[in-house]
Amino acid sequence: MVAEMPMRLKVLIVGVALLVSPPLHATGADTGTVPPVDPAACWAAITAGDDDKVTADCGALIDNEKTAKADRIKALVARAAVFARKDQLDRAISDYGEVLRLEPQADIYNSRGELWWKRGDRPKALADFGAAMKLNPDHPTAKGNYKRLAQELERLGALMAVAGKPGFNCSTAKRPVEKAICASPELANLDRQINAVNSKVVRDATADSPRAGRALQQQQDEFLARRNASFGRPDYDLQKAMNERLQRLLEIERY
C-alpha cells in the first residue's frame, strides 16, 4: 500500500497538468500582436495629394500600435491638413494636439493656433502662437499671427466700451434695417465691428494701392446695399448676413 502512493501521486500531478495546460496545437496560433503597417500607402497618398486616401491610409498607420513615432507624426500632420481643408476643425485640432503630445513643434503650434482662431477661440489661438514663438522666437508666421491677433483683441476690448451702439448715429436712423440694428444690442455690436474692421482694411490697402482700397470700400458699399434691399424679406437673416460679412473682413485683415 505504501509503495503504491508515489505512483498515484504521479498520476494525479500529470492529470492536473493536462487540465491546466493549453492544447499543443494552439501554440503560436494567436500571439495577440498587431502586424505592422507598411507606411508606403500613406506616403503615396500624401505625394499624390489624394485627401480621401490620406484619411484612410494614413489613418491606418496612425491607429497601428507598431507604427514608429516619426511615421505617426508625419501621418498625423498630413491627416490634420486634410481635415482643415474640409473645415473639420475639431478633428484637425485633435490630430495636431496628438503631434504636440509626441513632439512639440513650432510649426504645429502655429497651425493649430490658426484653427483655433478660425473657430473664434482667440485665447487658445494666442496661447498657441505664443508657444510657437517660445520654441522658435524667430518663427515669422507665428510672430505675425500673434501680433495681428493681439491687435484684434485690443480692438475688440475697445469696442466693449461702446457696447450696444452701432457704427452710425441712431438718432438719425431712417431705414427700417437701421432701426432694427439700433433696437438690438447684438446687431449694434456687429455693425460697429464691421465698420471698424472695414475702415482698417480699407486704410491698410489704400496705403499700398489706392485702387485696392477703393475696391474694398466698394465691397462694403455693395454689402450695405444688399442689406438695405433684403431686410424684411422672409428668407433674409440679417444677423447671419452681418456675421458672414464680419468674418470675411477679418479674413482680409489677417492676410
Per-residue confidence (pLDDT) for residue 162, from 0 to 100: 60
Per-residue confidence (pLDDT) for residue 32, from 0 to 100: 52
150-154 long-range Cβ contacts below 8 angstroms, 24+ apart: 150/126, 152/122, 152/250, 152/253, 153/122, 153/126
Residue 109 Cα to chain centre, angstroms: 11
Per-residue confidence (pLDDT) for residue 16, from 0 to 100: 39
Per-residue confidence (pLDDT) for residue 248, from 0 to 100: 94
What is the Cα–Cα distance from 198 to 195, expressed in whole angstroms?
5
Is 0.75 topped by the overall pTM? Answer: no
Residue of 77, 84, 82 lying closest to 100 (CA atoms): 77
Show the low-confidence residues of the chain (pLDDT under 70): 1-36, 158-164
Three-state SS sequence of 58-85: HHHHHHCCCCCHHHHHHHHHHHHHHHHH
What is the Cα–Cα distance from 174 to 115, expressed in whole angstroms?
40
187-190 long-range Cβ contacts below 8 angstroms, 24+ apart: 187/238, 187/239, 187/242, 188/164, 189/159, 189/163, 189/164, 190/239, 190/242, 190/243, 190/246
Per-residue confidence (pLDDT) for residue 20, from 0 to 100: 40
Largest CA distance in the chain: 120
Q: Which grid cell is 123?
A: 485665447
